[in-house]
Structure 1
Amino acid sequence: NFYSSCCQKIKWIDWIMDGFSITMAILYLVVCIVGLAGNSLVIIAILKLDKMSSSTTVYIFNLALADGLFMVGLPFIASQNFQNQWMFGDMACKVVMVLDGINQFTSVFCLTVMSIDRVIALVEPLRFARWRTPRCAKIVSAFLWLFSLLTILPMALHFSADHGLCIPDLISDDWWLGVLSYTFVMGFALPFMVMMASYVALLLTLRSQRLRASAQNQENHRLERQVTKMVVAVVVVFGICWLPFYTFNFCSLYQNGLVLTFTRAFEFVVLLSYSWSCANPILYACLSDTFRRHFRTLLCPVAKTSPSLQCNTECADSGDLVQNRLLTLIN
């Protein structure tokens, strides 16, 4: 991805065409196909069935769009890793890295904003109702795309293919350490902390509301368990996919020589970071009843029943505010 060339500042070894490289090429292809198909399905489901009727689905739409576009740069990165050569020219190198960085950061930022949105949807649904409209969500999403561009543009423009590889022009080790630290904080540490804090507040609120609710309200308890599973899955998968990648980036600063084992391990964690973008649709399909119904409706048209299957994340007229807010959260 945007930083996958960082350890290439160390002398590259000759790439050996063996079973590992072929396997990695196949895995890159699988991740790309699954990511594009899954996120395209989410986008179509929201546009066709939900029509972005709530702030939650606006953020999910932008998250799926960023994740899907993030997959577009994967074949270019896979080609360079497979052939140990960039074959698309210097301008394409800069464009791919800019687009790659925008989509990567937008994906993380959207997920972070979604975590905040979910908390206020449950804790203060009426107080912040006017700020949780689709129109406001679209404005926030547009700002996130712009902020992502401003965040990565200065670094992305340092990439060039002058030496046969699309890699950054390193000014010094200190400069590269600063870049890594900056991107780690902006692209992982701060968003992860915000998500963790939001989800802790979310779960505490859910537990408090459950204790106040009737013991016979089994449906709310079921939804709480579903939300809890979704929360844990999102946080764990995000950490698993991105923490090894940043760890290897920092480790590359202290490598005196690039050995085959480190090269292969680094390529694997790059693929792991890309797999994050195809993980969200899978999480939706596995853990969200609403998206399962949407996907079933799109993939099996004969199974359509009624428009009532549309995602109704903002319904406040059902008489059970807690249950409806929980339905919003599991979307």
Structure 2
Amino acid sequence: MSGIGEEYSSTHGYYDDYQLSNVIVSPCNNASTFGIVFLPTVYCLVFILSFIGNGLVVCVLVKHRKQTNLTDICLFNLALADLLFALTLPLHTHYAVIGEWVFGDFVCCVSKVSHAIGFFGSVFFIMVMTLDRYVVILHPLTGGWYRTLGAGVAITVSVWTLSLTVSLPALIFSKVTNETYGKACRYAPENNFWNTYQLFADNILGLALPLMVMAGCYSRIIPKLVTMKSAKKYRVVRLIITIMVTFFLFWTPYNIYLVLEYLKNEGVFVDTECTLDSSLKLANVLTVALAYTHCCLNPFLYAFVGQRFAKRVLQLLRSWIPSGLLPHFAYVSESSSRRSSVMSRSSEVVSTFIK
């Protein structure tokens, strides 16, 4: 790959983190070969798995749109956000392998803003689903007034508008630039204010706020669930803990990297022997790969774990795939899912998580 003499850009974050030229071209970096091979491989896997998983969610919800509720609306939009996030990866995989951006200014701008909107949209819809679960569990009798189709549409429009607003810098400042190794697609703001804004958006809106919402809501939900008379309650508690731990473990390392990289570029750290620079670039490769994998997991954390949704997925697959090619469990009688048609109030509330 060309571009060995390029300096590392200080404008780094969710808008710019998939540029391998930012990771492997510094004279200080000793992880170039690893990065060139590793990140494009991860991008391809993330794209394929995200396309399959989130695509199935979208198809199932579209097919059963007449039975849509607020949970389904949020699942649908979460899947769309993850798809929007992942669909930019083939472009940047090509960019990483070739070593030069060949798609022009318009595609560069679209890819950056799509990437940013997809990320923030995914995070914001996760927060909406968390708050909805909080209201359903803690205030089941008084909090259901907003769970209508009209309210769901209004929430959807609001979340996508907020995601676009937060991502506007990517739309305004992304462009193709001429570098020593060729053309690059960069997020290149005109002053340092937008670098600081980006760091704030990435870490506060993209990590700290959703973690606070999940921790606050689930810390109240779990004790309530434990007191309910439902055989599924401990399964739900495990799912809640898995959701929180997964989000924290997959995104926190990359956000820590962003803060350290920002501080280095601001001159807080002095790196005379390239040790810090090399370590940060290797950390970038590893933490980006870990963070991007999260969009592949959302369908399993929020959709496929539900018995009703899983049944719908199997029905859809049976209509697409010839008989005999699916595993045996896909043809098991659906009677097991209908054995209990009468549920207590506790079971109905619990099923909000795994319906």
Q: Deviations 1:134-157 (Å, cap 9, x if unpaired)? A: 321121011100111011103442
> Counterpart of 2:196 in structure 1: which amino acid?
L
Aligned pair partner of 1:2 in 15, 19, 24: 15
Q: What SS does the corresponding residue of 1:162 show, helix, strand or coil?
A: strand
Aligned pair partner of 2:240 in 227, 231, 248: 231
Residue 345 of structure 2 corresponds to residue 321 of structure 1? yes
Aligned pair partner of 2:50 in 21, 35, 39: 35
Aligned to 1:53: 68
- Quote the offset at 1:246 in angstroms: 1.2
Question: Is the 8 Å Cα contact of residues 6 and 168 (structure 1) preserved in structure 2?
Answer: no
Q: Report the TM-score when normalising by structure 2.
A: 0.78
- Quote the offset at 1:244 in angstroms: 1.3
Aligned to 2:130: 115
> Counterpart of 2:154 in structure 1: which amino acid?
I
Q: What SS does the corresponding residue of 1:157 show, helix, strand or coil?
A: helix
Aligned to 1:272: 290
Aligned pair partner of 2:221 in 202, 206, 221: 202
- Would you say how many aligned residue pairs link Structure 1 and Structure 2? 315
- Quote the offset at 1:191 in angstroms: 1.5
Using the TM superposition, name which of 153-162 and 105-114 deviates more.
153-162
Over the aligned positions, Cα root-mean-square deviation in angstroms equals 3.0
In 2: Cα distance, 1:21 partner to 1:73 partner: 18
- Quote the offset at 1:85 in angstroms: 2.4
Q: What is the 5 A alignment of 1:159-198?
A: 159-163=174-178, 164-173=183-192, 175-198=194-217
In 2: Cα distance, 1:265 partner to 1:52 partner: 45
**Pair 285,129 (structure 1): closer, same or farther in 2 beyond 3 Å:** closer
**Pair 244,3 (structure 1): closer, same or farther in 2 beyond 3 Å:** farther
Residue 314 of structure 2 corresponds to residue 296 of structure 1? yes
**Pair 83,136 (structure 1): closer, same or farther in 2 beyond 3 Å:** same
Q: Report the TM-score when normalising by structure 1.
A: 0.84
Instruction: Identify, as 1 or 2, the structure richer in helix.
Output: 1
In 2: Cα distance, 1:24 partner to 1:298 partner: 33
**Pair 180,9 (structure 1): closer, same or farther in 2 beyond 3 Å:** farther
**Pair 17,43 (structure 1): closer, same or farther in 2 beyond 3 Å:** same
Q: Deviations 1:209-263 (Å, cap 9, x if unpaired)? A: 33xx4xxxxxx1x311121121111111111221111111111121656855532
In 2: Cα distance, 1:134 partner to 1:36 partner: 27
Q: Deviations 1:121-143 (Å, cap 9, x if unpaired)? A: 12212212221123211210111
Question: Is the 8 Å Cα contact of residues 5 and 166 (structure 1) preserved in structure 2?
Answer: no
Question: Is the 8 Å Cα contact of residues 98 and 152 (structure 1) preserved in structure 2?
Answer: yes
Q: What's the % identity of the aligned pairs?
A: 25
**Pair 184,6 (structure 1): closer, same or farther in 2 beyond 3 Å:** farther
Q: What SS does the corresponding residue of 2:132 show, helix, strand or coil?
A: helix
Q: What SS does the corresponding residue of 1:90 show, helix, strand or coil?
A: helix
- Quote the offset at 1:283 in angstroms: 2.8
If asked which structure has higher relative contact order (CA below 8 Å, sep 6+), I would say 1
Gaps of 5+ in 1: 214-219, 311-316
Residue 264 of structure 2 corresponds to residue 251 of structure 1? no
Aligned to 1:148: 163
Q: What SS does the corresponding residue of 1:165 show, helix, strand or coil?
A: strand
- Quote the offset at 1:325 in angstroms: 1.5
In 2: Cα distance, 1:205 partner to 1:3 partner: 42
Question: Is the 8 Å Cα contact of residues 74 and 129 (structure 2) preserved in structure 1?
Answer: yes
Question: Is the 8 Å Cα contact of residues 109 and 170 (structure 2) preserved in structure 1?
Answer: no
Using the TM superposition, name which of 112-121 and 157-166 deviates more.
157-166
Q: What SS does the corresponding residue of 1:195 show, helix, strand or coil?
A: helix
**Pair 131,307 (structure 1): closer, same or farther in 2 beyond 3 Å:** farther
